[in-house]
Amino acid sequence: MQRVILILAIVFTYIVMVWGGMVRSSDSGLACPSWPLCYGNFEPPKDTAAKLEMGHRTVSSLAGLFTLLGFVYVWRREKGTSRLTSGLALLFTFSAALTGMKMIKGETPHLKYLSHMLLESMHIYESMIILGFLVLTYRLIYKEGSQEGVPLYAYAFALATMITGVLVRYTASGEACGHEWPTCNGSLVPEFTNWKVTLQFIHRNLAYVTWIAFLLALVSNFSRTTLLAFVFINLQFLFAISMVLTGFFLPLSFMDTAMGFFLFAWLTYHVQVKPTINPKVREAW
């Protein structure tokens, strides 16, 4: 039962994040002007945007419930680091709920001010932290030992790309370079007169370095895990580039969000924390 609860917590948290991306992309963030209910009552909203926003809140509640149940199971049955990771997942679940409330009351989805943009970005980071700690909890309890894994340096570059990608999305910097790639405003190296252009340029170059890091991981330590990681990175690139070239076509924006959060969870599960040691070298020592 504990395993099922943790899987449900991970799955529903992922759905919350992808659903939140749909809410953001369709500008439905303030379709329900009150919190936690929509228009202050339990009656289902009739407006499509309000249904989308209320659905996001409902799924968030289920994710929070499974995270709480997972925390209870882990603390009753397990010992060690898994207790800490499940506790942190629950802590940030409460934090994310409070941030969500503040976003609605402060009307931050309009992204009028920099403080709104940062609060929206922080909400996504909280969700990533929750998902990451849930995945780590599951990994600590159920993952069998294996020398295969994604190198830590590749994971670090991927994480940096995702963090800047969230800032690009929630500071409305996605179109700072226009609808073009690999150029930015007609040049490979644009003029940095606008902070949004600078942010977009940094994000793009981090993505290039990340691709090189995963290629290096594949070549230096070929395995099923590094091959899948490289395939997933290329899929993420494909969705991101297609999204930019099509002017942020909504289905492609959705696929970019869904693939990005899936990649984060998958890499967190498969990241190689300890370096691989050749048994022959160990015996020699």
> DSSP letters of 97-114?
HHHHHHHHHTTGGG--SH
Its pTM stands at 0.89
Helix (H, G, I), strand (E, B) or coil at 184: strand
The answer to whether residues 184 and 124 touch, using CB atoms and an 8 Å cutoff, is no
DSSP state of 84: H
pLDDT over threshold 50, residue 285: no
pLDDT in tens, 92-139: 999 999 988 888 877 776 677 778 888 888 999 999 999 999 999 999
Separation in Å, CA 110 to CA 30, 31, 81, 103 = 8, 11, 40, 10
Lowest mean pLDDT among 13-22, 124-133, 268-277: 268-277
pLDDT in tens, 174-191: 889 989 999 998 999 998
Helix (H, G, I), strand (E, B) or coil at 135: helix
How many Cβ atoms are within 10 Å of 124's Cβ, its own excluded? 24
**Token duo for residue 184:** 């930015």
- In percent, the amount of the chain with pLDDT more than 70 equals 93
Write down how long the chain is: 285
Helices and strands: H and E segment counts in the chain: 9, 2
Q: Which position has the token pair 């696929």?
A: 255
| Better pLDDT: 48 or 96 | 96
